[in-house]
A = this chain, B = another copy of it.
């Protein structure tokens, strides 16, 4: 079959990451990268894969998400209580976290970057900066 076209982008990204383009990884990369910026949990992606008739185990979803993260194709976002999200947006940015809906939204210009931050102690360097603005529904 000519899945070639549909998965071209996914295939290329996997290649760039040095990961074998297996059926599972192609499918997952397609779900992740062929529909604009996304915030997904492993659970959510796994269930999406199921709906798309892609047979993958949850363990493999976790593996793949981590491999893509390590390859710099995803960002990991850690939240209180909720499970870990993976973000396809690679630009430096922050997040609104809607705690009532457990949903994430990018904050384009969080006004916080290395320039506002004190230098870290000698012998260390900044690895990443996470800005999470937790937001809740206004209670009347």
Contact = CB atoms under 8 A, between A and B. Distances in A.
Contact of A118 (B110, B126, B127): B110
A129 interface: yes
Given A79-B78, A117-B110, A135 B130 contact: no
A124 B99 CA distance: 10
Q: How many copies does the complex hold?
A: 2
Contacts of A131: 112, 129-131
Interface residues of A, number: 36
A140 to B, nearest CB: 10
30 contacts: A78-B78, A78-B80, A80-B84, A96-B121, A98-B124, A107-B117, A108-B118, A110-B112, A110-B117, A111-B116, A111-B117, A120-B133, A123-B138, A124-B136, A124-B137, A125-B136, A125-B138, A126-B133, A126-B134, A127-B134, A127-B135, A127-B136, A128-B133, A128-B134, A129-B131, A129-B134, A130-B130, A130-B131, A130-B132, A132-B132
Given A96-B120, A129-B132, 11 more contacts: A80-B84, A108-B118, A109-B118, A110-B117, A120-B133, A124-B138, A125-B138, A126-B135, A128-B134, A129-B131, A130-B134
Interface of A: 76, 78-80, 84, 94, 96, 98-99, 107-112, 116-118, 120-121, 123-138
